[in-house]
Amino acid sequence: MNLIGDMHMHTLVSGHAYGTIREMAQAAQVKGLEMIGITEHAPGIPGTVDPFYYNNLQAVPRELYGVQVYHGSEINVLKDGTLSLAQSYIDHLDYAIVGIHVQCYENAGKEQNTSNLIACMKNEKVKIVSHPDDDHTPLDYERLVKAAKQYHVALEVNNSSLKKVDQRWNCLENYRTMLSLCQKRRVPVIIDSDAHDPSQVGELNLAKALVESVGFDPSLVLNTNLEKLKSFLF
């Protein structure tokens, strides 16, 4: 399974990451990627960028070092089922990722966590759910996968999570459950690095190995083909 894109990464403007856009793109070129997505953290994560940043994304070249560059944001799910970034800023993005982060979300139980996440998936710019794998904020995977199919949203297998399974409670078991349901319902997934440094861009091997180990249909992995990935996201 050859992966040609990495659509979840952060630059130094996210407040706890350590590369520039150009450094991330150059790292992607070295790794042989064709396409990347820069997805800065939205309000709610300490130290992240002011939303005004998203108003001027057109200033960034669409290709750097031969790699196509797109812009998203990893937007937080809030406890009332709303997004942490205003729609006026979301409108400037190519796509959006939504995810639960314990820095700005208190566990409300499996059913309410799932309901809050699904409510955010309904936004038309939302195309990916980030790292749905941690039982600190448990999810109902039957409901999540059904909603992903309904709202045309891909569920992410996050390589960074698999590097710290001791911190992401039941991460491996949850991914196996999610992948089984995605295969059954023909729901696409995406494999991402969640890179916070140029050295991590395109670092996808742990997630790729997990997906392959469960016999997951590679045709359901979005970032195996450039046109398939772009068609889904945009």
SS3 of 176-219: the string is: HHHHHHHHHHCCCEEEECCECCHHHCCCCHHHHHHHHHCCCCHH
Q: Which runs of E-coded beta strand occur in the chain? A: 5-6, 35-41, 63-64, 67-76, 96-99, 126-129, 154-158, 189-192
Q: What is the pLDDT along the chain (234 residues), one digit of tens a residue?
A: 999 999 999 999 999 999 999 999 999 999 999 999 999 999 999 999 999 999 999 999 999 999 999 999 999 999 999 999 999 999 999 999 999 999 999 999 999 999 999 999 999 999 999 999 999 999 999 999 999 999 999 999 999 999 999 999 999 999 999 999 999 999 999 999 999 999 999 999 999 999 999 999 999 999 999 999 999 999
| H or E element, residue 113 | helix 110-121
Q: For residue 120, how far is the Cα from the chain centroid?
A: 14
Strands 5-6 and 35-41 turn out to be parallel
